[in-house]
Structure formats: C-alpha cells, structure tokens
Amino acid sequence: MQSAPRTIVVLGTGGTIAGRAGSPDQHLAYTSAVLPVEQLLAALPAGGGELVSASEQVAQVDSKDMDFAIWRRLAEAVERHLARPEVRGVVITHGTDTLEETAYFLARVVDASKPVVLTAAMRPASSSEADGPANLASAIVVAAHADPGVVVVLASQVHSARAVRKVHPSRLDAFSSGEQGPLAQIVAGTVRPLHAWPTEAPSIGLANLPEDPAAWPWVEIVTAVAGADGRAVDLLVQGGVAGIVVAATGNGTLHRRLEHALLQARARGVAVLRSTRCLDGSIAAGEGDALAAAGDLTPVKARVELILTLLRAVARPLPRG
C-alpha cells in the first residue's frame, strides 16, 4: 500500500519574513521583500525543510502593496500545486499587513482539498529577534500533518482564515482569532488541535476571477463615527464605486444620516454590507435591518466577501439583515 504524500511546496510573496535591515539590532526599520524564498528555506532550523520538495516565487512585495493581480497568481499557483498527487500541502510566506485578507480570499476561492498554510514574520530575517524561521518551520509541520483547509501559522499558533486578524503593530505575537481563539498550537513540532478545523467553502471559482485587475469591482470601506453625515458615501457613488462596506458602530448601528446615504447608494445599484468596527464579536442581525450584515467578518474581510459576491458568474443577492 502506497504511503500518503508528505512533500510540501513553499510559495513566496515577500513581506517582512523576507526583509533585511542594516544591523541585527534593527527590528522595525528595514526593507521588506528582499530575500528569495529559497534563502528563507535555507535559514530553517536543522531538518525544518526536509519535507519541502519545491519552492516558487509568486511575488516579491511588501504586503501593504498586495493587489488583485498577485492574489489571482497566488490562487493559480496554489491550485496548480494542490493538484499534484505527490504534494501533501502548500505553504505561503507573506507579509503581515494584509495577511488576513489574503488568507480569507484564498479560503473563498481555492478548493483546499489539502492544507494551505500562510505564515509571516514580525521581524526581518536579519534581526537578532527574527521569528521567520520558526514560523516557517511550524507552517511546514502544519502543512504536512493537519487537515485540509486554509489556515495561518504564527508564534506557534494556528488560526483559521476567517477568524485571524492582526491586533498589534509590532510585537511578535501580533495575531489573534478573537473570541474563537486559535485552532491549534504547535508544541515540540507537533500540531495540538484546540477547535474543529475550518470548512470554509469556496464562493467563486478561479476561472471567474478577471485577469485584468481593472476589471475587479471597486469596493471601499467607510467607517461609522460620531457626526457621520454620509458625504463620503455620496462621493464614492459619484465616483462609480461598485460596493461599500460600512464598519458600523456596536451591533451594526449607523448614524441616521450615514444610513440614509447608504440606502440611497443601494437604490442606485451600489452593493452595501455592514460589518462592525468592534474588535471582537459578530453582528446579531435583526428582522427589521435595512442593510445586510457581514456576521463575524471584520471590515477588511467583509470587503473581500463583497468583491467576490460581485464577481460571481451568477448574481446572487445579498441576504437582508
């Protein structure tokens, strides 16, 4: 009987994990996306890369500059390698700034029949505090032994693509899964599950993602604040925006003038989705809600969801409430 495949493919996209500074004591001032993915693998602890069969440089960017074109190329590369029978899983090195968005995008686009594991670093590779090698080694362990699905591995914790979010700008344990907590912990090179593994179903096929980034729908985020009057919404509508995510207060509440502007935008054909600006929790939708709610999705993930909704080959209206 043939044994299960255990080889791993590592895809590089740049980020702090591939960054360098002028000296080892420079932890926050550095240039991102300098080192190729092959050098990241060469810096792994002894034995950390023995399962890796191949690597590919999909992009080389600071993740603050992540864009739709790279997302599509990355999704293509993931699907191509997952289809190889000898591949057990795929690891992606990424910057931390937009990691949560890329993870959620992949979870909604790629049929992850095998593990797809994103990892990153809060310190550049040249730092005396470099966390990239340990994070990458942990991600390889998860890709080799965990269940299928898109997850994120940082600081010895495994997060679901849906729940993960960056909660601190500089500390090493900068990511959280909010109230849900991490899916698992990496202890002594083994995966110790804490919750059920994610089963996020893709919402759109890769073939329906436009190759031209200009063809992707324009979706913006507007934040509800004291004194909001809706002028930002009006300007976006005049500019031709296709969708608006509103980071609402509390349980999805909106200033009356902002809500009026959003309702007018929807009447003019703009898709509108409510998230909450609260750091944790989920919007509890009510029967009389005038605008659709994004549930537990953060504003940036609600934006990804709305973009994909607008890209679906068969239009499906957003649920009300």
Domains of the chain are 7-193 (3.40.50.1170), 217-311 (3.40.50.40)
Closest C-alpha among 171, 168, 167, 175 to residue 28: 171
What pLDDT was estimated at residue 266?
Answer: 97
Local confidence band at 5 (pLDDT 50, 70, 90 cut-offs)? low
Which residues does the annotation mark as catalytic? 16
Task: Report yes or no: 156 and 171 within 8 Å, Cβ to Cβ.
Answer: no
Average pLDDT over residues 125-136: 96
Strand partners, 192: 185
- pTM of the complete model: 0.93
Residue 157 scores a pLDDT above 60? yes
What pLDDT was estimated at residue 202?
Answer: 84
Tokens in use for 158? 């495994």
Tokens in use for 67? 């864009």
Tokens in use for 222? 């507007």
Q: What are phi and psi of 16, to 5 degrees?
A: -60, -35
Q: What is the 3-state secondary structure (H, E, C) of the chain?
A: CCCCCCEEEEEEEECHHHCECCCCCCCCCCECCCCCHHHHHHCCCCCCCCCEEEEEEEEEECHHHCCHHHHHHHHHHHHHHHCCCCEEEEEEECCCCCHHHHHHHHHHHCCCCCEEEEECCCCCCCCCCCCHHHHHHHHHHHHHHCCCEEEEEECCEEEECCCCEECCCCCCCCEECHHHCCCEEEECCEEEECCCCCCCCCCCCHHHCCCCHHHCCCEEEEECCCCCCCHHHHHHHHHCCCEEEEEEECCCECCHHHHHHHHHHHHCCCEEEEEECCCCCCCCCCCCCCCCECCCCCHHHHHHHHHHHHHCCCCCCCCCC
For residues 143 and 151, give the distance between their C-alpha atoms in angstroms, rounded to a whole number.
Answer: 9
Residue 1 scores a pLDDT above 80? no
Q: What is the 3-state secondary structure (H, E, C) of 213-235?
A: HHHCCCEEEEECCCCCCCHHHHH
pLDDT tens digits, residue range 187-235? 999 999 999 998 878 878 888 899 999 999 999 999 999 999 999 999 9
Local confidence band at 4 (pLDDT 50, 70, 90 cut-offs)? low
